[in-house]
């Protein structure tokens, strides 16, 4: 969700600079079931534009209508939407609507936190009893500093009302080692779900960053000078160079990193050859290192094209990161989410 909040706050700050008012909508509570859970947000502008979503698309128009009073009064309010009678979702969602006001200091601190890949928190204060309420709103907590996202918050009253607190991890990032056509497709699809994608290509690669749609960076370091310092527990890595020797070189550079996911493209016999060659250089490597590498990577969905293979890979990464075993949802017991 970090990438969604990033987009909303950055857009709100741009609108604010243009003299346009905006309202931040946050789902803070839920009774029953809904398409999405508390913590989802959308941003509504007074110029008839909005970004983000708090549902599958059926609630947003009502949120926009309810936000008009916030634009007019400058006061936050809590709205509820009963999906039992309108959508069949069997739930009531409570949405905090607050006039967004981002200070320069807050925006700079937020960008610094994102760049530093540090966890942060957003606390949204509300009361279900009343609709229009003074003193409620959201507080962004970055390190040891707190920043109000609306000017109407009454700090002295916050301890007496409900709080929806949400922790945000660093934006998930995907490092693709390789620069062939399938890497392009994987980059495009991963970007669409909000991941930051970095391409690491061989030093003799002639392609530019423009070749990889929405990639954050393209790097072509020498094999003995690969910087892996930015790879952390919120990082997935895939090796897909289509070159045996290049995959070996990259694997050696990554041998000491603790990652969220590590994938290797290609059939099982190729994986075994790569592991065997790797052991010639590092014979004392623990077997756990190899067990944590998903190869062949991807989920068996009958994928054939580069786009379908990318979908298969992304599905596996998500299942590993969220500790889920892929099954048909019709066979899952209990709630779909969680």
Q: Which of 60, 142, 51, 71 is nearest to 103 (CA)?
A: 142
CB burial of 101-137 (b: ≥16 within 10 Å; e: otherwise) equals bbeeebbebbeebbeebeebebbbbbeeeeeebebbb
Asked whether the bond before 296 is cis by omega within 30 degrees of 0, the reply is: yes
Are 8 and 138 contacting, i.e. CB atoms less than 8 angstroms apart? no
Task: Look up residue 142 and give its two tokens.
Answer: 């970055």
DSSP 16-55: HHTT--EEEEEEEEEEE--SS-TT-EEEEETTS-EEE-SS
Ramachandran angles phi, psi of 27, nearest 5°: -75, 115
Q: Which DSSP letter does residue 153 get?
A: B
Taking every pair of Cα atoms in the chain, the longest distance, rounded to a whole number of angstroms, is 71
221: helix, coil or strand?
Answer: coil
Are 282 and 314 contacting, i.e. CB atoms less than 8 angstroms apart? no
pLDDT, tens digit only, all 338 positions of the chain? 899 999 999 999 999 999 999 999 999 998 866 656 889 999 999 998 989 988 766 788 889 999 999 999 999 999 988 765 555 555 788 999 999 999 999 999 999 999 999 999 999 999 887 655 667 899 999 999 999 999 878 777 777 788 999 999 999 999 999 999 999 999 999 999 999 999 999 888 888 999 998 999 999 999 889 999 999 999 999 999 999 999 999 999 999 999 999 999 999 999 999 999 999 999 999 999 999 999 999 999 999 999 999 999 999 999 999 999 988 888 887 766 65
Q: Which of 273, 311, 280, 321 is nearest to 295 (CA)?
A: 273
Span(s) in the chain for CATH 3.40.50.720: 173-321
Task: Look up residue 172 and give its two tokens.
Answer: 């998930």
Question: What gap in Å lies between CA 41 and CA 117, rounded to an integer?
Answer: 21
310-320 pLDDT, tens per residue?
999 999 999 99
199-210 pLDDT, tens per residue?
999 888 888 999
Contacts of 266 (CB under 8 A, 6+ apart): 295, 296
Q: What class, spelled out in words, does domain 173-321 have in CATH? A: alpha beta
Question: What gap in Å lies between CA 311 and CA 185, rounded to an integer?
Answer: 9
Question: What gap in Å lies between CA 168 and CA 160, rounded to an integer?
Answer: 24
CA distances from 5 to 2, 32, 52, 111, 200 (A): 5, 25, 9, 12, 27
Are 183 and 175 contacting, i.e. CB atoms less than 8 angstroms apart? no
Question: What gap in Å lies between CA 74 and CA 142, rounded to an integer?
Answer: 25
Question: What gap in Å lies between CA 263 and CA 297, rounded to an integer?
Answer: 5
Could you tell me how far CA 102 lies from the centroid of its own chain? 22
């Amino acid at each position: 969700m970090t990438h969604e909040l990033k987009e909303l706050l950055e857009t709100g700050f741009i609108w604010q600079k243009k003299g346009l008012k905006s309202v931040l909508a946050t789902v803070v509570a839920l009774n029953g079931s809904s398409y999405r859970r508390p913590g989802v947000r959308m941003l509504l502008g007074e110029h008839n534009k909005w970004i983000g979503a708090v549902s599958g698309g059926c609630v947003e128009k009502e949120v926009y209508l309810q936000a008009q009073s916030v634009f007019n009064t400058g006061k936050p309010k809590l709205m509820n939407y009963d999906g039992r009678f309108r959508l069949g979702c069997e739930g009531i969602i409570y949405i905090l609507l607050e006039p967004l006001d981002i200070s320069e200091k807050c925006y700079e601190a937020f960008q610094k936190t994102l760049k530093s890949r540090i966890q942060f928190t957003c606390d949204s204060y509300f009361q279900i009893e009343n609709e229009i309420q003074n003193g409620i709103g959201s507080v962004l907590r970055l390190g040891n500093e707190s920043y109000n996202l609306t000017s109407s918050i009454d700090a002295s009253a916050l301890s007496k009302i409900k709080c929806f607190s949400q922790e945000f991890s660093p934006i998930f990032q995907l490092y693709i080692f390789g620069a062939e056509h399938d890497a392009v497709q994987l980059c495009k699809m991963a970007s669409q779900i909000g991941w930051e994608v970095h391409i690491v290509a061989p030093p003799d690669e002639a392609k530019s960053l423009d070749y990889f749609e929405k990639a954050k960076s393209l790097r072509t370091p020498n094999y003995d000078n690969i910087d892996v310092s930015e790879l952390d527990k919120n990082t997935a890595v895939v090796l897909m160079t289509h070159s045996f020797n290049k995959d070996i070189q990259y694997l050696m550079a990554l041998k000491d990193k603790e990652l969220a996911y590590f994938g290797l493209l290609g059939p099982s016999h190729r994986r075994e050859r790569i592991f065997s060659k790797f052991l010639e250089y590092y014979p004392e490597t623990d077997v756990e290192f190899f067990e944590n590498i998903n190869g062949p990577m991807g989920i068996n969905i009958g994928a054939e094209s580069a786009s379908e293979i990318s979908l298969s890979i992304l599905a596996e990464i998500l299942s590993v990161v969220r500790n889920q075993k892929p099954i048909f949802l019709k066979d899952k017991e209990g709630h779909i989410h969680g």
